[in-house]
């Protein structure tokens, strides 16, 4: 069988793991390890028909999922891609996580285990559909061989193979063992999307039933015999270090096992409950060396950004035409500075990791967006070969980018576990640690200028971004000639046609650790761009929707234009509104998809803002599970508007001022407007879904506020603004 | 020793009296359906019922819960058959799902008091935080469960 052949092979494994640009090279032993035996045993009862599909004799189909479910629905959407081509009975399909150790042992047979960048469906769709088609061909061939008939006379449908001339039938389960011995066809033909029966239809998610009963075990729910609990206090100032602790002071507290000092943190391990560990660490006298950044504040960071705006020159991210002459001949000039603060992800499941270190292997359970990187980080931290690491894959209680590139909680848990071999240790960060030790959406200050000619037509646009780079440390290859190529998206790739454009990027890295926050650059940058475009429309005396239309007339902008039109129509852009209610609009392409939003809002005499209605639309090309796409857009409305209304991490004395949901506020159900999601898939491409919905929300809202009050919001969050009509 | 009645079963736990109920449930009794979100009674992920009333177990000293009837998500039904759980599935409410058990416990308490809640009732009773943003579906699921129970017992014409 293919898998056994694989396991006999020795191969070189190159693990470009995330988290500090770690690179591991590991030669795996020729002999099989325990998991291989386990996998082989499973293969005997559930033959593997391609690496992705296991079929039991009772026709149960198990489809493996390599990426991780963190709420976005890929635990169902990814199997749909396989099942569509497999032509199986969807009601008998179960999803199961692909094993990380097996993935590494079998030379990355599951392609990638990274979940992020709205990539699960769009980056897997081809190889998963191909696997499904290959498996169908193998099953059909196995049936044909058993009957002694040509394969061409057999068709597979609904988990049954039929020999058309004789109408004989065999189920997938009946021939799976034989199919598993066949070579995997390399380029099986794929269905025409018009023939899809599963993809594009709403499917109930596999993970939901257990999520309403409490049965779903998140990483934080890991329960192992003899498990100890750990609570951590990290140096409040980023870059600081631990000076000393008085462990004696807490030695007699209930359950305390030990105090583990780390370079920039200290951990208390306790028995019985995390409560004990948490009580003890709160009582633990700790002295920190705050390091060189203890003087940094939000004000000093803003000043640092302003210097970036004022620099005479900065690396160029886009240049078209002749800015100087366009500005010289302008009838109207518009200039504005925009600002967006740091944001923390606040996943509902706080950072945590359970680790068990023994002399044979290291097991970890972690809410991490990349189990392969988790394995690599575990191996490096424990100083064992990655072949001795088992990462137990679990659903995540939210991800939003927090736990992809940055999984320091895994490193911490493994370090603690290594000091207590044989004892499983569960490290949980308090919410305060989570808010104050995040990987923050970077601060950004942007200055934009534009010129209109006498006819009110835009002729030139310049952008100077002064922003912190997320990737300069963790992904240096994304920095080209001083430009963070992710950080400039929305501007450098703007679909608007200005005859003259000049854009610059001044990298302004601070000591506050940055990270990819849901939609990454497409959170703040669309707020800047789409608000500024609104300013231009008003300066030109034009309707903001029509103004955008005139700038989106090239073929390259046709999908932006189409989704803008669709959303404007669905929202009834030109229809009358109740007294005091006003609309704002925005459009943005991101992650290979096209989104637009119209928001209706009102502001009363005391400056109180009410959100009435959000219409948000997406063209993501093809759709796997439309209900999951809807849910992602609905969720984006909350995540995006929470940030616009309240989201702000501020820095004082080098540390984060906010600590929990009382001062880092979240939208709740009472604040929800009516949300209408418009799916306008035009086919022909696969766009992302988890993040694109975020992009148009903040600007659409702020543009509505301008329409309502005449106040142009140029910095977020809105809670800092007096919205009373001027 | 502190005596607790959780989901109809009596337990005797040897813990400090100020230990919060959440951690007794999760770490001592192994009932992990009740979640830790904030530790400050802000997010509601830890919502359980004390004598039928929704409480935030992350701030509730276990001594206060002693002698009272505690219901957790595990005690709602073993098979997801509670009308609210069914409505949650029908509307495909959960995304990551971490906050949802607390959400459901808040909603169950609401429907006990107000079998046909208005949107305002929902706003006031379900103040839990969901970062995935499932609020619209939560509202719809509560209304669906209310309508079903209303039509089942003939209270609604």
Q: Which of A371, A400, A428 is the last residue of a domain?
A: A428
Q: Point out the residue among A207, A635, A669 whose CB comes nearest to the CB of B126.
A: A669
Integer Cα distance of A68 and A113 in angstroms: 7
Return the DSSP state at A677: E
| Nearest CA-CA partner of A696 in A493, A488, A517, A533 | A533
Provide the 3-class DSSP secondary structure of residue A220: helix
Would you state the pLDDT for residue A610?
97
Q: Do A581 and A612 fall within a single domain?
A: yes
In this structure, is residue A14 part of a structural domain?
no
For chain A, the domain total comes to 3
Q: What's residue A37's pLDDT?
A: 52
Contacts of A310 (CB under 8 A, 6+ apart): none
Residue A67's domain comprises 46-191+205-211
Nearest Cα neighbor of A711 from A699, A702, A698 is A702
User: What do you get for the CA distance between the two ends of chain A, in Å?
Assistant: 75
* pLDDT of A428 higher than 70: yes
pLDDT in tens, A25-80: 333 333 334 444 555 556 667 899 999 999 999 999 999 999 999 999 999 999 99
The answer to whether the beta carbons of residues A339 and A302 sit under 8 Å apart is yes
What pLDDT is attached to residue A5? 36
A461-502 per-position pLDDT tens digit:
999 999 999 999 899 999 999 999 999 999 999 999 999 999
A372-401 pLDDT, tens per residue?
999 999 999 999 999 999 999 999 999 999
CB spacing of A397 vs B135 below 8 angstroms: no
- How do strand B47-50 and strand B69-71 relate by DSSP bridges? antiparallel
Interval A213-258: pLDDT, tens: 999 999 999 999 999 999 999 999 999 999 999 999 999 999 999 9
**Is pLDDT above 70 for A674?**
yes
Between CA A274 and CA A354 the distance in angstroms is 12
Asked if B35's CB is within 8 angstroms of A220's CB, the reply is: yes
Which of A71, A217, A274 shows the shortest C-beta gap to B96? A71
Q: How far apart are CA A700 and CA A122, in angstroms?
A: 27
Are A394 and A521 members of one domain? no
A6 domain-assigned: no
Contact B27 A272 (CB under 8 A): yes
Terminal CA-CA length for chain B: 51
CA A354 to CA A347: how far, in whole Å? 18
**From B38, B95, B134, residue closest to A660, measured CB to CB:** B38
Question: Cα separation of B29 and B26, whole Å?
Answer: 6
Half-sphere exposure of A128 (CA within 13 A, CB side): 25
pLDDT, residue A250, reads 98
Confidence of residue A11 (pLDDT cuts 50, 70, 90): very low
- What burial class does residue A462 get, using C-beta atoms within 10 Å of its C-beta: 0-12 exposed, 13-18 middle, 19+ buried? buried
In contact, A724 and A606? CB cutoff 8 Å? yes
Residue A626 belongs to domain with CATH number? 3.30.365.10
Asked if the peptide bond before residue A699 counts as cis, ω within 30 degrees of 0, the response is no
Whether A381 is in a domain gets the answer: yes
Is it the case that residue A15 has pLDDT exceeding 50? Answer: no
Measured between alpha carbons, how far is A590 from A581 in angstroms, rounded to an integer? 29
> Three-state DSSP class for A658?
coil
Do A544 and A691 have their domain in common? yes
Mutate which: B107, B131, B139, vs A, most A CBs within 10 A: B131
Same structural domain, A330 and A390: no
The span from the CA of B99 to the CA of B110, in Å, is 17
pLDDT at A19: 30
- Distances in Å between the Cα of B21 and the Cα atoms of A253, A259, A675, B38 are 19, 25, 37, 14
- Residue A44 confidence (pLDDT): 63
User: Phi/psi class of residue A710: alpha, beta or left (left: φ > 0; alpha: ψ in -120 to 50)?
Assistant: left
Q: How many CA atoms lie within 13 A of A486 on its CB side?
A: 23
Report if residue A329 sits inside a domain: yes
> Is A276 in the same domain as A303?
no
pLDDT at A13: 30
Which of A348, A659, A689 to mutate against chain B (most B CBs within 10 Å)?
Answer: A348
Which domains are assigned to chain B? 2-76 (3.10.20.30), 83-151 (1.10.150.120)
User: Do B33 and A214 lie within an 8 Å CB cutoff?
Assistant: yes
Q: Is pLDDT above 60 for A6?
A: no
* Structural contact between residues A347 and A526, judged by C-beta atoms closer than 8 angstroms: no
Q: Has residue A89 got a pLDDT over 90?
A: yes
**CB of A692 closer than 8 Å to CB of A123:** no
User: Counting Cβ atoms within 10 Å, is residue A328 exposed (0-12), middle (13-18) or buried (19+)?
Assistant: exposed
Please give the residue of chain A at the shortest CA–CA distance from B59. Answer: A275
Q: Are residues A698 and A666 in the same domain?
A: yes
Alpha-carbon distance A337 to A393, whole Å?
45
User: In whole numbers, what is the pLDDT of chain A averaged over residues?
Assistant: 94
Using the beta-carbon criterion (under 8 Å), do B97 and A350 form an inter-chain contact? Answer: no
A31: nearest Cα among A4, A51, A52: A4
pLDDT of A142-179, one tens digit each? 999 999 999 999 999 999 999 999 999 999 999 999 99
The answer to whether residues A179 and A137 touch, using CB atoms and an 8 Å cutoff, is: no
Nearest CB among A274, A350, A669 relative to B138 is that of A669
Q: How many CB pairs under 8 A join A and B?
A: 183
B57 in contact with chain A, both atoms CB, cutoff 8 A: no
A582 and A620 share one domain = yes
Q: Using alpha carbons only, give the angle A565, A569, A571 rounded to the nearest 5 degrees.
A: 120
b/e A120-153 (16+ beta carbons within 10 angstroms → b): bbbbbbebbbbbbbbbbbbbbbbbbeeeebeeee
Please answer whether residues A2 and A184 qualify as being in contact, where contact means their C-beta atoms are separated by less than 8 angstroms.
yes
B 116-155: CB under 8 A from A:
122-124, 126-139
pLDDT the model gives residue A45: 79
Nearest-angstrom CA–CA distance, A417 and A233: 17
Distance CA A670, CA A644 (A): 17
Which tens digit of pLDDT belongs to each residue from B75-90? 999 899 999 999 999 9
Residue from B58, B54, B59, B68 nearest B6 by CA? B68
Contact B133 A213 (CB under 8 A): no
Q: At how many degrees (to 10) do helices B135-152 and A626-645 cross?
A: 120
A346·B100 Cβ contact <8 A: no
Tens-digit pLDDT profile for residues B114-155 = 999 999 999 999 999 999 999 999 999 999 999 998 775 544
Confidence of residue A650 (pLDDT cuts 50, 70, 90): very high
User: Among A428, A451, A479, which residue terminates a domain?
Assistant: A428
- Is A7 inside any structural domain? no
Residue A26 lies in a domain: no
Judgement on whether residues A382 and A334 belong to the same structural domain of the protein: no
Per-residue model confidence as pLDDT tens digits over B49-63: 999 999 999 999 999
What was the pLDDT predicted at A42?
Answer: 65
Nearest CA to CA, how far is A395 from chain B (Å)? 8
Q: SS3 for chain B, per residue?
A: CEEEEECCEEEEECCCCCCEHHHHHHHHCCCCCCCCCCCCCCCCCCEEEECCEEEECCCCEHHHHCCCEEECHHHHCCCCCCHHHHHHHHCCCCCCCCCHHHHHHHHHHHHHHCCCCCHHHHHHHCCCCCCCCCHHHHHHHHHHHHHHHHHHCCCCC
CA distance A229 to chain B (A): 9
Looking at the fold, whether A391 and A534 belong to one and the same domain comes out as no
Quickly state the pLDDT bin for A725 (edges 50, 70, 90): confident
Q: Looking at the structure, do residues A513 and A580 belong to the same domain, yes or no? A: yes
pLDDT at A23 over 60: no
Q: Are residues A307 and A356 in the same domain?
A: no
**Taking CB atoms and an 8 Å limit, are B95 and A73 in contact across chains?**
yes
- Residue A94 has a CB neighbour count (10 Å cut-off) of 12
Vertex A309: Cα angle to A304 and A313 (nearest 5): 115
Residues A106 and A167 in one domain: yes
Q: What is the 3-state secondary structure (H, E, C) of A393-408?
A: CCCCCCCCCCCCCCCH
Q: For residue A673, what is the nearest residue in chain B, using CA coordinates?
A: B136
ipTM given for this complex: 0.97
Contact check, Cβ <8 Å, A212/B96: no
Q: Which of A203, A212, A673, A674 to substitute to test the interface with B, most B CBs within 10 Å? A: A212
Distances (CA, A) of B78 to A584, B24, B46, B81: 47, 20, 19, 8
Return the pLDDT at A327.
97
Largest CA distance in chain B: 52
Give the domain-ending residue among A211, A244, A272.
Answer: A211
Per the CB < 8 A criterion, the answer to whether B104 and B63 are in contact is no
- The answer to the question of residue A326 being in a domain is yes
In which band, very low, low, confident or very high, does the pLDDT at A515 lie, cut at 50, 70 and 90? very high
Domain assignment present for A27: no
């Amino acid at each position: 069988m293919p898998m056994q052949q694989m396991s006999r092979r020795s191969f070189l494994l190159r693990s470009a793991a995330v988290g500090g640009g770690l690179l591991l090279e590991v030669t795996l032993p020729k002999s099989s390890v325990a998991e291989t035996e386990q996998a082989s045993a499973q293969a005997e009862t559930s033959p593997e028909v391609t690496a992705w599909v296991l079929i039991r004799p009772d026709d149960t189909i198990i489809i493996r999922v390599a990426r991780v479910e963190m709420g976005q629905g890929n635990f169902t959407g990814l199997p749909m891609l396989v099942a569509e081509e497999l032509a199986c009975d969807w009601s008998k399909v179960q999803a199961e996580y692909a094993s990380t150790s097996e993935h590494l042992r079998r030379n990355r047979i599951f392609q990638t285990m990274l979940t992020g960048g709205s990539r699960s469906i769009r980056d897997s769709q081809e190889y998963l559909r191909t696997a499904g088609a290959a498996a169908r061909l193998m099953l059909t061939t196995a049936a044909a061989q058993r009957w002694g008939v040509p394969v061409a006379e057999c068709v597979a449908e609904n988990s049954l193979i039929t020999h058309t001339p004789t109408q004989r039938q065999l189920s997938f389960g009946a021939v799976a063992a034989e199919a598993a011995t066949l070579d995997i066809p390399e380029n099986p033909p794929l269905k025409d999307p018009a023939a899809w029966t599963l993809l594009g239809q709403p499917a109930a998610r596999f993970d939901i039933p257990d999520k309403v009963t409490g049965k779903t075990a998140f990483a934080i729910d890991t329960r192992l015999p003899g498990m100890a609990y750990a609570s951590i206090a990290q140096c409040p100032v980023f870059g600081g270090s631990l000076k000393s602790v008085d462990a004696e002071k807490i030695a007699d507290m209930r359950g305390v096992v030990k105090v583990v000092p780390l370079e920039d943190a200290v951990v208390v391990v306790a028995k019985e409950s995390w409560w004990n560990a948490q009580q003890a660490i709160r009582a633990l006298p700790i002295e920190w060396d705050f390091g060189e950044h203890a003087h940094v504040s939000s004000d000093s960071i803003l000043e640092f950004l302003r210097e970036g705006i004022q620099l005479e020159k900065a690396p160029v991210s886009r240049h078209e035409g002749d800015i100087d002459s366009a500005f010289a001949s302008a009838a109207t000039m518009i200039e504005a500075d925009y600002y967006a603060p740091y944001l923390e992800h606040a996943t509902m499941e706080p950072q945590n990791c359970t680790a068990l270190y023994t002399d044979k292997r290291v097991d970890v359970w972690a809410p991490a967006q990349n189990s392969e990187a988790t394995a690599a980080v575990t191996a490096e931290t424990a100083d064992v070969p990655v072949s001795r690491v088992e990462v137990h894959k679990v659903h995540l209680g939210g991800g939003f980018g927090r736990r992809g590139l940055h999984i320091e909680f895994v490193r911490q848990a493994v370090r603690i576990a290594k000091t207590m071999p044989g004892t499983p240790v569960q490290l949980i960060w308090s919410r305060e640690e989570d808010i104050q030790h995040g990987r923050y959406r970077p601060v950004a200050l942007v200055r934009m200028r534009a010129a209109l000619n006498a006819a009110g037509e835009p002729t030139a646009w310049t952008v100077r971004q002064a922003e912190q780079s997320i990737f300069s440390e963790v992904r240096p290859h994304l920095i080209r000639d001083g430009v963070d190529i992710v950080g400039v998206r929305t501007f450098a790739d703007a679909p608007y046609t200005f005859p003259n454009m000049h854009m610059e990027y001044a990298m302004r890295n601070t000591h506050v650790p940055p990270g990819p926050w849901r939609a990454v650059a497409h959170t703040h940058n669309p707020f800047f761009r789409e608000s500024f475009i609104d300013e231009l429309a008003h300066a030109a005396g034009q309707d903001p929707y029509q103004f955008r239309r005139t700038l989106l007339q090239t073929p390259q902008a046709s999908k932006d234009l189409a989704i803008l039109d669709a959303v404007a129509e669905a929202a009834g852009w030109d229809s009358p509104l109740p007294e005091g209610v006003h609309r704002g609009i925005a459009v943005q392409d991101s992650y290979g998809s096209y989104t637009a939003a119209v928001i209706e809002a009102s502001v009363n005499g005391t400056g109180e803002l009410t959100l009435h209605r959000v219409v948000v639309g997406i063209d993501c090309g093809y759709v796997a599970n439309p209900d999951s796409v809807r849910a992602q857009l609905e969720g984006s409305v909350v995540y995006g508007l929470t940030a616009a209304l309240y989201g702000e991490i501020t820095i004082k004395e080098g540390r984060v001022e906010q600590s929990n949901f009382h001062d880092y506020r979240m939208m709740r159900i009472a604040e929800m407007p009516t949300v209408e999601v418009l799916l306008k898939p035009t086919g022909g491409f696969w766009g992302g879904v988890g993040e694109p919905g975020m992009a148009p929300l903040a600007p659409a809202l702020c543009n509505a506020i301008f329409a309502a009050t005449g106040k142009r919001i140029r910095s977020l969050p809105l809670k800092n603004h007096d919205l009373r009509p001027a | 020793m502190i005596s607790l009645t959780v989901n109809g079963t009596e337990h005797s736990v040897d813990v400090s009296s100020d230990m919060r109920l959440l951690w007794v449930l999760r770490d001592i009794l192994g009932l992990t359906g009740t979640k830790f979100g904030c530790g400050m009674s802000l997010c509601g992920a830890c919502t359980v019922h004390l004598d039928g009333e929704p409480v935030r177990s992350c701030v509730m000293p276990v001594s206060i819960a002693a002698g009272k009837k505690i219901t957790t998500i595990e005690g709602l039904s073993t098979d997801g058959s509670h009308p609210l759980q069914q409505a949650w599935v029908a509307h495909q409410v959960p995304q990551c799902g971490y906050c949802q058990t607390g959400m459901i416990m808040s909603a169950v308490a609401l429907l006990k008091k107000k079998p046909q809640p208005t949107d305002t009732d929902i706003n006031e009773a379900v103040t839990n935080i969901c970062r995935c943003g499932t609020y619209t579906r939560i509202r719809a699921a509560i209304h669906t469960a209310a309508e079903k129970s209303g039509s089942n017992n003939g209270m609604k014409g």
